[in-house]
Structure 1
Amino acid sequence: MKKKETNTDQKGAEYIAGIGASAGGLEALQEFFKAMPLKTGIGFVVIQHLSPDYKSLMDELLARYTKLPILKADDGMLVEPDKVYLIPARKNLSIFHGRLMLEDQGARNGIILPIDIFFRSLAKDIEKRAIGIILSGTGSDGTLGTRAIKEAGGMVMAQDERTAKFDGMPRSCISTGLVDYILPPAEMPEALYNFIKHPFVEKAKNTDAVLTGDEDGLRKILMTLRDFSGTDFSYYKENTILRRLERRLSINRFERLEDYYNLLTNSDKEKETLYRELLIGVTRFFRDEPAFEVISNNILPNLLDGSKKEIRIWSAGCSTGEEVYSLAMIIRSYLDGKHLNVEVKIFATDIDKHSLEYAGQGIYPESIVSDVDPVLLSKYFTKRDNGFQISESIRKMAIFATHNVLKDPPFSKLDLIVCRNLFIYFKPDSQAFVLNLFRLALKSGGYLFMGSSETLGVYTEAFDVVNTKHKVYQKKTGYVSNLGKELPGSFVFRKSESLTDNTAGQKRFPRKEQLTDKVLERMLPPSIVFDDKLNVIQVINDINPYLELKPGKFSQSLTNLLPTDLIVVINNMVRRLKAQKEIIAFEGVKILKAEKTFKVNIEGRLLLEDGENYTFIVSFFDIEQVETVRESRNVVNFETQIKDQLSELQYELQFTKESLQATVEELETSNEELQASNEELIASNEELQSTNEELQSVNEELYTVNSEYQSKIEELTQLNNDINNLLNNTEIAALYLDSKMCIRKFTPSFARISKLMEFDIGRPVRQLATAFVYPDFLSDISNVQLKLQSIEKEIITDSNELFLLRIVPYRTDFHAVDGILVTMVNIMSLQNERFKLKLSNQRLQGALEMGHMAWWEWNIETGVVNMHENKAIMLGYTFDEFPKNVYKVCELIHPDDYNRTMDEMRSHLKGEKPKYDVQYRIKTKSGGYKWYWDKGGIVERDATGKPLKLIGLVIDISDLKALQLSMDKNS
């Protein structure tokens, strides 16, 4: 694409707001820009869903509500502050180095997502200075884009669903929990301006966190958040936490941590918002696609070589599950392509319960079509009303569970661990701790898949590099996972470090709970406190020698932590304790661990009974320690008890099998019938879904077009009313003829003149009486139609009224001729004025001739003199012969009178005399002289007072002078 030359002196906008709008967005945009100040420094880029065959009127419609310059986006155009840029039809818009980039719009999987495309590029280009705003619209376009802006540290706004004509886009965006402001469009500009002008935002433009130095305030906030969520963020990088805190302070318009802490302690909503803010997950389907190609081409062939019946994968920090399902899809595709039958278990964990619930449903917005290959989309997704849902076969491969990698035990015997972009949030010691867990949890030869900006740190020697660029590693052989020996005894249920205040000069005393723990450790052997559902409540002393972590999803149940032999004993012990409520002991219980058998004595007690809720404690003793136990107890022969219990269990198992078989047969019959019905419904649903998608897309485009047309119709109606009122009140008679010379419209004034009626509209004008206006009316119309030249004339109607008639071609905005326009203006009053003027002129002419007078007008700048013809006639000249230049006229003055006359004129021009008044002799055409009496004065000046024009009257006084001379001689 050819780039246009750009002006390098232009300065781009520091903040750029991408505004996504679709159906119903016109009104929202008008409200938004009507309230937007003219000087904010923000550049605005409006992204709409536009019909490819429709010329958008958005620039005209918005211009009525804002004085901000509105431009159609062009390729290479720099986004400048305080300007609005509109996306063109049939184009996708992105941004690079502050300049807009256009490319032809192509639908992927039948869906066009211009808002997501622009928002993602905006987040990548200007990061924390990016602003995403979602207004009214259907669908979910913009949801993934706003997530990208939040990941980059930008700010997101969404229209309040209650004010949106169509709430699909705002609702989808708000459901992510990442929206900073939810407001009506008219209230957004004020919040936006306050946000960018906040001191933290201003100072942090080109630096890291600004909010530093208040360690005590930060500690209190983290402690409050830990008590609320159970997550200890003190293990996270401080700079990351401070930047997110600055964002919350800016949005709530605080400048001190103490003020924000007061809000946090009193608002569970703000606690939840801050918690979600700190847990923003960087994820999408097939994020960093080349990395997944490495997994598909280099890792899966080794893992799925046919030698294994099961592979175990752990996705740590899985967020909303896109990455988990991406991995599941490529594995399923590989298995199907190779016709392999391998059970795949993907343990997907995160500390964010909301994200896990979202991932478990497997329903994603329709905007994922921009990330998922069309083949995979059609194969592994089902279209739903609110997006796409992962197929059940893929969902079954993933097991989602809440898990904290810094607190909870890892899964074991893993073939692959995926942990991408989680370490970047941890402090270095936390990173090393988790990496060691991953090393222990992987099988020899297992693989580790990390984020592009993450490293192995001190564990580089423990892994071989599979792909350096995409951070894929393989555990070296020789490193054997031995959780029982390598994990600290307190690890399984480790509590986070206390964040209690430690002010200067104040001693720190142990808590009551710490003292109790110390006493129990000194007084009791290794023990476990648990409830009647076998869920662990507390661990006392080191129980690692008795642990045996089982593969699969981690839980705090004893069934997942202890060997099977011990579970059988403890189950039996629980039943006896509920019934006998006395100490129960089992001696010589055999335990098989690490291919070695050893014996242990076990003692159980009922600690608490609250209705149907029980709390037990079980203690473990080595054989040589048995003699130290002195309390009375009920000792059970372990082997006898096991035989009795096995017989009871075998009977129950046989009965259960028979019942199960009968149920299975009934279900198989029902399932076959349901399967047939289901297949028919699926086929029908797919057809309806496809039709619905097409209708939805068309409906959205039609609504946008209709909104703009409606606005234009209102504007045209107003203009039409204005014109009608103008024509009616000015009494201009007008007749409109179409291209076929049929009457299209006429004004009341024309109807009065021509006697036309409403039913004449649509009739050819030639069918009417030929002289209904004046005799040549039809022939004049024909001439104008043929020659396309206007006619203007004065006519007298049958009512003896005088009109000025104009017949002109009717031209459209595109300069095409589409009929004839006839206008008639009554000029009877003008005619009367003409008569009066003519009479006045006749009287003036007579007076001038009889009085031997003439008027003159001198333009001082040009030197031109306009005059009455009498001035020339009185000197024997014709009007054309007499000079019109002031200097030529002055040359005719008698030499003896010339200086005196000029001095008189100069005195008046200088303001020394109010009037010009002089008598002089002037030469006639025959060579003689006549006496003139010349009077005049200035009638026009410029702004500085300089004279521009003089007007005067000249009188022939020759006869008067001759009479006076004669009288002087006689006397």
Structure 2
Amino acid sequence: MKSSQQANSFNPSYYVGIGASAGGLEALQAFFRTMPKDTGMTFIVIQHLSPDYKSMMDELLARCTDMSISIATEGMVVKSDHIYLIPPRYNLMIFHGNLYLEKHNVQKSNHLPIDVFFRSLAVDQGKKAVAVVMSGTGSDGTLGIRSIKEAGGMIMVQDEGSAKFDGMPKSSISTGLVDYILPPEKMAEELLNYTRHPFIQKSKSMEVNMPQNMDTLAKVNLILRDYSGIDFSYYKENTIARRLERRVSINKCQKLEDYLEFLVESDKEKDVLYRELLIGVTSFFRDVDAFQCLRKEVIKKLVKEKSIRIWSAGCSTGEEIYTLAMLCLEEKQKINADCEVKIFATDIDRHSLDVASQGFYPDSILSDVHPELLAKYFTKVENGYQVKEEVRKMVVFATHNLLKDPPFSKLNLMVCRNLFIYLKPSMQQKILNMFYYSLSPGGYLFMGNSESLGEMSEGFDTINSKWKIYRYKKGFQAPIMNEMKALEPQKQGQVKGWTPDTDQRKTKQINGFGDSIIQAVLPPSVVVDGQDHIVQVINNMNPFFEVKQGRFSQLLFHHLPSDLSIYVSGLLRRLRQGEEAMISENISELEGYPEEQTTIEGRKFLLENTPYYLISFRREPVRRVETKSLEIKTSVREALNQRIEDLEKELQVTRENLQATVEELETSNEELQSSNEELIASNEELQSTNEELQSVNEELYTVNSEYQLKIEQLTEANNDLNNLLNNTEVGAIYLDRKLCIRKITPMVTRITHIRESDIGRPIAHIATLSNYPELLTDIQQVMDALKSVEREISTENGTWFSRIRPYRTAYNAVEGVLITFVDISELKLAQADLDESRQKLKAAEERARSHKEDS
């Protein structure tokens, strides 16, 4: 029983992975100088080390902390209150609390040990994982902190102002996932505050089923909805609760109610919480085996078709999208297929879509993308890689809310991975229902490893149950989708295009407007917005509308006859140009109304500074009028035809000019493309060389920092030695192996003829001591026999004790001769006095003995 308790005491409460590179030594020392030795945590330090250099980090850190420091070895058990250092030439990983080493791949020029360790730490320890990123160049650690965040861990990053090299901190901060940005000396306090918070220690927890907590969660969702336009009430309560517990502890609030008050006042915290809930962690070829299975079972078959439509919902920062695009290109090239691939990538987070559309990713993607694909589909740029245009042009990115926006249709492949794990089961089924109707017959569905079809399993055939690949099953009668309640963004801008749901407040106002018009006995009318979407229909519009086949559209011109659309389009154009009201009267000869005349009237009005347009239609039978009136109508028709003809001619001229311009641009573009390819080739070579130099420079900086500290220690030791020799008044002469003077102490100049200016000269060239002619002989004897020689020397200044011995290094190698002189004048005088006293005592004893014998 005692041994088990002792074993448990060694289990760390938290596992703190610390990534540092150039300039990281000072940061590490500042961090551990303020960290108590009994926190219960363990610290694993990952550095960029030169493979041929023996690091002295353990000795240097030992001066700043009382914790035990060890170099990691294969299978080492991690204990609390210990510091572990990565050895050179290896990547470090953790599995079930044990450390394991993996030798660097010599074929890779760029190693990312921090990302490798952070990812293994996230998988192994989950919520107990803490990632700390300190000074360094490049972007190592950026992908690793994403994994830590997804697993529920905490992220700390050194602030850019205190970092000697801000590349790694800046790259991590740009992800928006960092919890603390602090100088190293303040990290310890915040780390301890975080780990000791009751919510983190689980001495308290947020019971989501408690009424007061449910009310608070509802208020948080309301605040976020008003701020971002996204309703998080469809998310699982436990998911929201876990995120809230982290934010409560990070902001040092003791209760959820305290945090709610803070959230109301802080727009910054609203944005942070919004991003926390929308956290999208992805990577290239995430679950490599899953994508290999998708390529073999799905993409290989689809590229044989003339065209492919793929939709990826919740695409986050785009790594998964570009993975799909590369797989499609690879399969097309493999069978030389002429297949058009169009990928629709959507997400609710505008920031993530901006990152995805740029197609720029840090150097750390090297660990995820095969070198062959990297060279083929990426261009090396400063601090990262850019997806090539041939891949990016296959993808269309758009903001889309699955909970309310209409889906894409006629899809060959639907990809939605690791999104359902955040949503309530009822919402999952509604979205899967929507996916089913979006797929073409024979289309495929690709989901995440932790997700399932649930009630929709009867609508799909299973292609691979492990990697969640399914195929559309014909004949399945899915339940009718209920309308999903959601809100459009109010502060982030409106989503372009019509959506089935509109803001309830505006709808009520438009309805109110319609009611007042109806009371005024308007003819059949329609209200449209600035994008020609129907907002309100007043009275019976059936005589003027045509419901066409296909998916229903809210666009006005999809429901009007073609000839009537011409007049309505012109009227709306004039209203948008500034007219307040327009009317087109006595329109005849419309195809649908051969014996009738139509009058169209349009008015513009504003509602909360938003323009709306009221279009009214009236019909009446054609009246037989006098010839003069008919001539007027004929002239109106002729004028209209002439106007159309003029517009067509103008359009033709514009097209010809545009074509000429396009041809000129294409010619210039070809020349620029040729020059650009040459520049890209040169840039790639320079970039490769720069990467190698940067890596070497980073390692040299780390080595130089350690050497600098060692030099300071040696300087201190040398000063201590000089002070010792000077204050003990010992004369010392250091000779090298060639018997040249290497160093002397000040006392030597007082008893010999040697001066500071003689350093470097052979001792045989100097008359050192006239009363010690055996000096050179004794020195040579010591060099030959490697045994010490001792003599007493009398000088004008007194009597000296001389000792000549070999000068040995720390490895016991003889590197010269050391001659020391110790003043023994006082000792000689004392010896003489002692001898005289002894003689007097001896004489007295003899006299006493003689006197005794006489008596």
Task: Pick the TM interval, shorter chain.
Answer: 0.7 to 0.9
Question: What is residue 780 of structure 1 aligned with on the other side?
Answer: 778
Identity of aligned residues (%): 53
Instruction: Give CA-to-partner distance per residue, 1:823-879, whole Å, 9 cap, x none.
Output: 222122222333344455556667788889xxxxxxxxxxxxxxxxxxxxxxxxxxx
1:410 counterpart = 2:391: no
User: Alignment partner of 1:280: what SS?
Assistant: coil
Whole-angstrom CA distance in 1 between matches of 2:525 and 2:469 = 41
> Partner amino acid for 1:353?
R
Whole-angstrom CA distance in 2 between matches of 1:837 and 1:528 = 132
Instruction: Give CA-to-partner distance per residue, 1:87-125, whole Å, 9 cap, x none.
Output: 111111110111111121225642100000111111111
Q: Residue 729 of structure 1: CA displacement?
A: 1.7
User: Alignment partner of 1:707: what SS?
Assistant: helix
Question: What is residue 449 of structure 1 aligned with on the other side?
Answer: 446
Question: What is residue 341 of structure 1 aligned with on the other side?
Answer: 338
If the length of structure 2 is used for normalisation, what is the TM-score? Answer: 0.86
Question: What is residue 829 of structure 1 aligned with on the other side?
Answer: 826
1:406-485 to 2 correspondences below 5 Å? 406-478=403-475
Q: Residue 352 of structure 1: CA displacement?
A: 1.0
Question: What is residue 581 of structure 1 aligned with on the other side?
Answer: 581
1:167-566 to 2 correspondences below 5 Å? 167-203=166-202, 213-305=212-304, 307-308=305-306, 310-478=307-475, 516=509, 529-534=527-532, 558=555
Instruction: Give CA-to-partner distance per residue, 1:551-591, whole Å, 9 cap, x none.
Output: 9xxxx994998799597675334125454714679999999
Deviates more, 1:377-386 or 1:181-190: 377-386
Which has the bigger relative contact order, CA under 8 A and spacing at least 6?
2
Whole-angstrom CA distance in 1 between matches of 2:118 and 2:27 = 19
> Partner amino acid for 2:649?
Y
Distance of aligned partners of 1:238 and 1:564 in 2 relative to their CA distance in 1, 3 Å threshold: farther
User: Alignment partner of 2:374: what SS?
Assistant: helix
User: Alignment partner of 2:433: what SS?
Assistant: helix
Question: What is residue 743 of structure 2 aligned with on the other side?
Answer: 745
Whole-angstrom CA distance in 2 between matches of 1:746 and 1:204 = 69
The answer to whether the 8 Å contact 2:19/2:141 transfers is yes
Instruction: Show structure 2 runs of 5+ residues with no match.
Output: 1-5, 491-502, 593-597, 621-632
Instruction: Give CA-to-partner distance per residue, 1:748-768, whole Å, 9 cap, x none.
Output: 112332222333222233333
User: Alignment partner of 1:17: what SS?
Assistant: strand
> Partner amino acid for 1:779?
T
> Partner amino acid for 2:296?
N
The answer to whether the 8 Å contact 1:180/1:251 transfers is yes
Q: Residue 433 of structure 1: CA displacement?
A: 1.0
Question: What is residue 815 of structure 1 aligned with on the other side?
Answer: 812
Distance of aligned partners of 1:536 and 1:111 in 2 relative to their CA distance in 1, 3 Å threshold: farther
> Partner amino acid for 1:64?
R
Distance of aligned partners of 1:560 and 1:577 in 2 relative to their CA distance in 1, 3 Å threshold: closer
Whole-angstrom CA distance in 2 between matches of 1:640 and 1:449 = 59
Whole-angstrom CA distance in 2 between matches of 1:743 and 1:378 = 62
User: Alignment partner of 1:36: what SS?
Assistant: coil
User: Alignment partner of 1:145: what SS?
Assistant: helix
Deviates more, 1:535-544 or 1:207-216: 535-544
Question: What is residue 11 of structure 1 aligned with on the other side?
Answer: 10
The answer to whether the 8 Å contact 2:206/2:213 transfers is no
Distance of aligned partners of 1:771 and 1:48 in 2 relative to their CA distance in 1, 3 Å threshold: same
Whole-angstrom CA distance in 2 between matches of 1:810 and 1:299 = 78
User: Alignment partner of 2:65: what SS?
Assistant: coil
Q: Residue 516 of structure 1: CA displacement?
A: 4.7
Distance of aligned partners of 1:220 and 1:492 in 2 relative to their CA distance in 1, 3 Å threshold: closer
Deviates more, 1:833-842 or 1:80-89: 833-842
Question: What is residue 655 of structure 1 aligned with on the other side?
Answer: 653
Q: Residue 787 of structure 1: CA displacement?
A: 2.7
1:865-880 to 2 correspondences below 5 Å? none
Q: Residue 641 of structure 1: CA displacement?
A: 11
Distance of aligned partners of 1:515 and 1:671 in 2 relative to their CA distance in 1, 3 Å threshold: closer
1:627-666 to 2 correspondences below 5 Å? 647=645, 650-666=648-664
Distance of aligned partners of 1:825 and 1:494 in 2 relative to their CA distance in 1, 3 Å threshold: closer
> Partner amino acid for 2:352?
S
Whole-angstrom CA distance in 1 between matches of 2:421 and 2:257 = 28
Whole-angstrom CA distance in 2 between matches of 1:48 and 1:285 = 25
Q: Residue 167 of structure 1: CA displacement?
A: 0.1
Distance of aligned partners of 1:311 and 1:783 in 2 relative to their CA distance in 1, 3 Å threshold: same
Q: Residue 312 of structure 1: CA displacement?
A: 1.1
1:671-690 to 2 correspondences below 5 Å? 671-690=669-688
Question: What is residue 629 of structure 2 aligned with on the other side?
Answer: none
Question: What is residue 58 of structure 1 aligned with on the other side?
Answer: 57
The answer to whether the 8 Å contact 2:584/2:600 transfers is yes
Question: What is residue 3 of structure 2 aligned with on the other side?
Answer: none
User: Alignment partner of 2:176: what SS?
Assistant: coil
1:669 counterpart = 2:670: no
Q: Residue 820 of structure 1: CA displacement?
A: 2.2
The answer to whether the 8 Å contact 1:133/1:158 transfers is yes
Whole-angstrom CA distance in 1 between matches of 2:378 and 2:170 = 22
Whole-angstrom CA distance in 2 between matches of 1:248 and 1:611 = 37
Distance of aligned partners of 1:744 and 1:229 in 2 relative to their CA distance in 1, 3 Å threshold: same
Distance of aligned partners of 1:540 and 1:34 in 2 relative to their CA distance in 1, 3 Å threshold: farther
1:125 counterpart = 2:89: no
Q: Residue 724 of structure 1: CA displacement?
A: 1.3
Distance of aligned partners of 1:613 and 1:253 in 2 relative to their CA distance in 1, 3 Å threshold: closer
Q: Residue 607 of structure 1: CA displacement?
A: 4.0
> Partner amino acid for 1:160?
D
User: Alignment partner of 1:455: what SS?
Assistant: coil
Q: Residue 666 of structure 1: CA displacement?
A: 1.9
User: Alignment partner of 2:77: what SS?
Assistant: coil
The answer to whether the 8 Å contact 2:303/2:328 transfers is no
1:566-645 to 2 correspondences below 5 Å? 571-578=569-576, 579=579, 581-582=581-582, 605-608=602-605, 614-617=611-614
Whole-angstrom CA distance in 2 between matches of 1:271 and 1:381 = 36
> Partner amino acid for 1:450?
M
Whole-angstrom CA distance in 2 between matches of 1:718 and 1:538 = 87
Instruction: Give CA-to-partner distance per residue, 1:618-670, whole Å, 9 cap, x none.
Output: 6899x99xxxxxxxxxx99x999997886455324311221022212322332
The answer to whether the 8 Å contact 2:21/2:698 transfers is yes
Question: What is residue 755 of structure 1 aligned with on the other side?
Answer: 753
Q: Residue 335 of structure 1: CA displacement?
A: 1.4
User: Alignment partner of 1:748: what SS?
Assistant: coil
Distance of aligned partners of 1:563 and 1:384 in 2 relative to their CA distance in 1, 3 Å threshold: farther
The answer to whether the 8 Å contact 2:92/2:116 transfers is yes
> Partner amino acid for 1:59?
D
Instruction: Give CA-to-partner distance per residue, 1:870-909, whole Å, 9 cap, x none.
Output: xxxxxxxxxxxxxxxxxxxxxxxxxxxxxxxxxxxxxxxx
Instruction: Give CA-to-partner distance per residue, 1:323-351, whole Å, 9 cap, x none.
Output: 00111111111112222232221111111
Distance of aligned partners of 1:102 and 1:548 in 2 relative to their CA distance in 1, 3 Å threshold: farther
Whole-angstrom CA distance in 2 between matches of 1:733 and 1:251 = 64
User: Alignment partner of 1:824: what SS?
Assistant: strand
Q: Residue 215 of structure 1: CA displacement?
A: 1.6
Question: What is residue 505 of structure 1 aligned with on the other side?
Answer: none
Deviates more, 1:162-171 or 1:79-88: 79-88
If the length of structure 1 is used for normalisation, what is the TM-score? Answer: 0.76
**CA RMSD, aligned part only?**
4.0
Question: What is residue 155 of structure 1 aligned with on the other side?
Answer: 154
User: Alignment partner of 2:413: what SS?
Assistant: strand
> Partner amino acid for 1:102?
L
Q: Residue 422 of structure 1: CA displacement?
A: 0.2
Whole-angstrom CA distance in 1 between matches of 2:308 and 2:530 = 33
Q: Residue 747 of structure 1: CA displacement?
A: 1.3
Distance of aligned partners of 1:602 and 1:301 in 2 relative to their CA distance in 1, 3 Å threshold: farther
Q: Residue 617 of structure 1: CA displacement?
A: 4.2
Whole-angstrom CA distance in 1 between matches of 2:554 and 2:13 = 55
Q: Residue 773 of structure 1: CA displacement?
A: 7.6
Question: What is residue 78 of structure 1 aligned with on the other side?
Answer: 77
1:925-936 to 2 correspondences below 5 Å? none
The answer to whether the 8 Å contact 1:602/1:618 transfers is no
Distance of aligned partners of 1:688 and 1:584 in 2 relative to their CA distance in 1, 3 Å threshold: same
Whole-angstrom CA distance in 2 between matches of 1:672 and 1:410 = 38
Distance of aligned partners of 1:512 and 1:401 in 2 relative to their CA distance in 1, 3 Å threshold: closer
Instruction: Give CA-to-partner distance per residue, 1:396-433, whole Å, 9 cap, x none.
Output: 11111111100111111111111000000000111011
Q: Residue 300 of structure 1: CA displacement?
A: 1.3
